[in-house]
Amino acid sequence: MTLSSLSLRCSACGETYETEWAWCCDCGAPLDFLADPHPSRDAPDPRGFDDRRGLWSFADFLPVGPHVTLGEGMTPLVDAPEWDASFKLEYVFPTGSFKDRGATTTLSVAAELGVENVVEDSSGNAGAAIATYAARAGLDADIYVPASVKASKLRAIERAGATPVRVEGTREDVTDACVEAVERGDGWYASHSWNPAFFAGTATFAYEVAYQRGWSAPDAVVTPLGHGTLFLGAYRGFRALRDAGWIDEMPKLLGAQAAGYAPVAEELHGPTDGRNDAADGIRIRDPTRLGQILAAVDATDGDAIALSEAAAESELEDLHRCGFYTEPTCAVAPAALREYRDRGILSPEDDVVVPLTGSGLKG
């Protein structure tokens, strides 16, 4: 058997996996798809582009077909005059977060490979997304979550028929327990940080932004940054668009981390102060793809900063007051937008897109 479009290559040592799927390289580094599909035709006229298949409208850029879908994608891109930016409403997804972008592609790969049982570890949103799409596919799912997981996210996992496995300790302990289960053969690792299919899915964020803007990239995109699920996906998507000749330039990618959980910002700027525990979705001290995140920052003249709990909470109030009913984690991105402008990293003329990544309804 060959994996064809699902063949893998190690991001660190270059080893390839062309006959059998592996969740990570023998050397311990994460794997990526060997081929980076993108269309060879010119960008279609945006006025005539058929977007009725949601994010699957960009099938030419995807390594897998829509085997497991709930009609996700094409989230609204709206003006946010109070922030002088555009917000992409990523909380308008079947499970209320952008993680559905990666869940639909990851479960589609699982279906193509004939997987019967998937496992994932998550602080909540990715777990709810994987559980929901596993239910759609008729697959069993074990979702490893911190013992402190929010009740609303636990409920979403349970109601989809998945098995939550609550783990005491840190977020890293949750991942360790999940990886042990994968190594034991308990299931296929549908990980939002390891599985390259997840990033192929989150790359559709970039295709949608470019299409909604008439095939142009903004000057900058400011995203929450934990494992880099959206940050790296956006990078890969904009890069594929540029390689296809559908956009001319890449946007600056600017990350928003939680103080106390800010390895990328600390790598760039030194130690951060305080601890932001409100942003429960990005409390990641050891991102799986740290090297790739730093390379994306470097390649786009980007940056990463850490936001305090107070800054995120005050931003969340502003978001809610202006009609954006989002969860605390996603408030770090518009808070970072303010900070990037204060620091002069962004000028008043820069046109900026900020994804609002998770709904307040299960916040």
Name the residues that contact Zn ion, by CB under 5 A: 10, 12-13, 15, 25, 27, 29
> Nearer to Zn ion by C-beta: 30 or 73?
30
The nearer residue to Zn ion, 32 or 84, going by C-beta atoms, is 32
The C-alpha atoms of residue 236 and residue 49 are separated, in whole angstroms, by 22
CB of 32 to Zn ion, least distance (A): 11
Cβ at position 8, least distance to Zn ion in Å: 10
Shortest reach from residue 94's CB to Zn ion, in Å: 35
> Of the two residues 27 and 78, which places its CB atom closer to Zn ion in the complex?
27
Inter-CA distances, 102 with 12, 31, 316, 326, Å: 22, 16, 25, 20
Nearer to Zn ion, 3 or 307 (CB): 3
**Shortest Å distance, C-beta 12 to Zn ion:** 5
25 or 353, CB closer to Zn ion? 25
Whether 225 contacts 231, CB under 8 Å = yes
Q: Min. distance of Cβ 27 from Zn ion in angstroms?
A: 3
Q: Looking at beta carbons only, is 35 or 147 nearer to Zn ion?
A: 35
- Compute the least distance from the CB of residue 17 to Zn ion, in Å: 10
